[in-house]
Every structure is written in C-alpha cells, then in structure tokens.
Copies of this chain bind each other. A is one copy, B any other.
C-alpha cells in the first residue's frame, strides 16, 4: 500500500486542533496569577502549581509559532501574552540567569547550573517578538543568546566547579541547542550572520556520529576520541534522531549535501539501534556496548522521542522519496497513536513501561508541557500539506 499523506494530514489536524491544543487552552492558563499551569493530570486537573520555566517558555514559543504560521487565531495570541507577561515579570534572577522553577505567584524556587532555561527563553522571546511586532524583544533574545554562548564556553561560570578528574567532554546537546537557537533567532534577512557558528556546530555534531559503532554517542572527547566509562557509551536514540532532523533541515536550507547525509545517517543508525524489536517503541537510553545504561528509566518509552522520530522519518521521506522512511514513519506513528494518544481526554501520555503501558497518567509535569506533541503535529502538517 502506498503512502497516504491525506490520511495523516486529516489525522494530525484532528489530533492537534481537537485533542491537543484544546487540552492546553482549557486547562493550563492561569488567569489568576498569570503564566501556565504545568502539572496537569490525565483530565487536565492541576496537581501541583509549580511553574517550570522550560515549559513556560516552550508554551509561549508554541503559541506564538502557531499564531505566526498557522492562522492568526486571537486566542493563541492572548494565551501567549499571558505567558509572556509572567515570564517577563518573574523569569529572570541574578546575573540575567533564567530560573528553572517558580511558585504559582512567580517567586523563585530553583535555578539550574545549566543553560537550557535560558535557551528556551530565547526561542520564546524571538517568536513572540514576531507575533506582536516588538523588535526590542528579539534584540533581548539576541543579547541573551550571546550570553549563552559565553556560558557554554566556560560552564564553571554557572557555579558548577571544574574538577581535574573530569576529562573535557563534547556533549551532543550543546551544538544541537545552539543550532536550534540560531534557527529561532536568525531572520531571513541575515543569512550570513551565523554561518561560522553553524559550521562549528555541524563539525562538533559530526564527532558524535561514529562510523565504527554505527551509532551516535551523547558524549565524546572534544578531539573526537572515545571517552572511557558509562558516560562515553551513553546513547539517547530520541535525542540523536532529533539532532538528525535538525541537521537535515540545516542541510536543506544551506543546500549542503554533506549535512543532509549526516542528518540521514544519524536518523538511520539511531532508529535501527534504538527501536525495541520485542515490544516496540524507542528506548530512552542505551549503552553502546549493550551494558545496562545507568539511568534507572533507560528502558522506558517516552512520548518525545516518538514525536521526534516520526517527524524525522517524514522529513527523510520527503527529501529522499525512499519508501523505507515512509514505512518507519507509519510504524512510529502507529505506536504513538496506540500507546501515547489519549483521545478521551486530549494530549498524550508521557511515560510508558517497556511493554507500552502508561506508568504515569499525567499529561503535564516538570519536563512535559505544551511543546513536543503540538510541535510534532504542526511540523508534520506543514510537510504533509506540501506533499498532498
């Protein structure tokens, strides 16, 4: 049977507009204190009022992005403003750091010694700037981006002391997030402004893609040699696949064939290695030599790797026309709609055991918000519309 873009377009539009966005629009908006409730149970009831800045920013980004690209729905803009006002009033602490979590009223709870809260803040600000036509917010995003580049160069400036027992490490997450940030802030009028930074990210990513192992490692030495121990063997298939489609899109934008093949290679190897042949679904973590990965939850099936992998396969199919990518897209989408989607209550489950049964009934939590599912559906709909 040949691939039916029509069928998926219909399915994804229904899922996005009837079951996913309504969940967040109906349950997450905190009209009393501003911002978004993040901790929502299966039905959308608030089970904890902590506000997580990763997710405040990601929801602001998502709503602004939809407003900018999928129809000027005033409800999305109004909901985006609710998030922006809260983030602007409460999100930043000393030295320009963005908090990790706040209480319901916006009082700070925790700050991480990592830059991800800042990264999602940058993406949100840049996108919201376009939605409301306020260029000064984009300028603020660019300033924060430059600061993030400085923090990344010297992580000890975030308060995590550098110790001599730790060898220098290239983490895949760093060039990946910088690529994503460049994509978020670079407007079409400035194609050359970030060229050398993009090239640096791509060459750093390339160090993680290991021909001798046929897989993508999360951590390698900065010179590309393998790191000893569990850290050096860690594989995160969902993350590698997500980085793969970023690199593939970058290759398409830059007409860079070597980036395109690199992205396809990352997607191929990571899916091949990461898919559970017995029970289906993508493992959260694996060890390159087949030992037990140290994270206790390594064998669980999370929602976001399936979002990333399904979109990666659809993109790879649209680029190459190879049937195997369409088949994998259908395989992953089928798994996601059977195990993760929850038509009765909207949004997706986030966490399944190895056999595919939910271990958590929550729809929103400290790391799951209005982001991966609607982004996946929106990205896929855009691509399917071009295919139809």
Number of copies of this protein chain within its complex: 2
A189 in contact (CB, < 8 A): no
**Option from B41, B49, B228, B294 in Cβ contact (under 8 Å) with A49:** B228
Q: Establish whether residues B292 and A108, one from each chain, have CB atoms under 8 Å apart when the complex forms.
A: no
Distance in Å: Cβ of A175 to nearest Cβ of chain B: 23
A164 in contact (CB, < 8 A): yes
Chain B residues whose C-beta falls within 8 Å of the C-beta of A360 in the assembled complex: 292, 296
Chain A contact residue count (CB 8 A cutoff): 43
Q: Establish whether residues A292 and B361, one from each chain, have CB atoms under 8 Å apart when the complex forms.
A: yes
A309 in contact (CB, < 8 A): no
Given A48-B229, A229-B48, verify A296-B351 contact (CB < 8 Å). Answer: yes
Main secondary structure of the interface of A (DSSP, over half): loop
A96 in contact (CB, < 8 A): no
For chain A residues 263-282, which have a beta carbon within 8 Å of chain B? none
A interface residues with partner B (beta carbon < 8 Å)? 39, 41, 47-50, 101-103, 105-111, 159, 161, 163-166, 228-231, 291-292, 294, 296-300, 351, 353-354, 359-362, 365-366
Offer 21 A-B interface pairs, CB within 8 angstroms, sorted by A.
A39-B230, A47-B291, A49-B229, A50-B230, A103-B166, A107-B163, A107-B164, A107-B165, A108-B164, A109-B163, A109-B165, A110-B163, A291-B361, A292-B351, A292-B360, A296-B296, A296-B297, A296-B359, A297-B297, A299-B353, A353-B354
